[in-house]
Amino acid sequence: GAGVSQSPRYKVAKRGQDVALRCDPISGHVSLFWYQQALGQGPEFLTYFQNEAQLDKSGLPSDRFFAERPEGSVSTLKIQRTQQEDSAVYLCASSPGNVRIGELFFGEGSRLTVL
């Protein structure tokens, strides 16, 4: 498809399980972002890639969160030993270049529920 694709759309995990969320950005987009959106809140920045390089991971809440984009295209956000506070919608966005004056193209998100 032409847009940003995320999978799975919904994930239910038991506390302590590991989860992996996938993002397929728009083809050719250099920049890729992950955001976390809690219920009733705005998206909170997690991490940013430019091609395969992870240039900013300052928003990752703990060392249980890990993101990669090994070939500069598809990205995976992995959460180890999930906790209930990890329940949120995880949004992926991509952009062709410098987002200061451009725009982010968002996927529909992956809703994670940790029981």
Partner 1 sequence: GNSVTQMEGPVTLSEEAFLTINCTYTATGYPSLFWYVQYPGEGLQLLLKATKADDKGSNKGFEATYRKETTSFHLEKGSVQVSDSAVYFCALSEGNTGNQFYFGTGTSLTVIP
* Secondary structure letter of residue 62 according to DSSP: S
Residue 31 sits in the site that holds partner 1 (CB under 8 A): yes
Q: Which stretch binds partner 1 (CB under 8 A): 12-20, 32-40, 61-69, 77-85?
A: 32-40
Q: Which of 24, 26, 44, 96 binds partner 1 (CB under 8 A)?
A: 44
CA 97 to chain CA centroid, Å, is 18
- For the chain, give percent helix, strand, coil, nearest 5: 5, 50, 50
How far apart CA 63 and CA 27 sit, in angstroms, is 30
Q: Rule CB under 8 A: which residues touch partner 1? A: 3-4, 31, 33, 35, 40-45, 48, 50, 55-56, 59, 91, 93, 98-101, 103-109
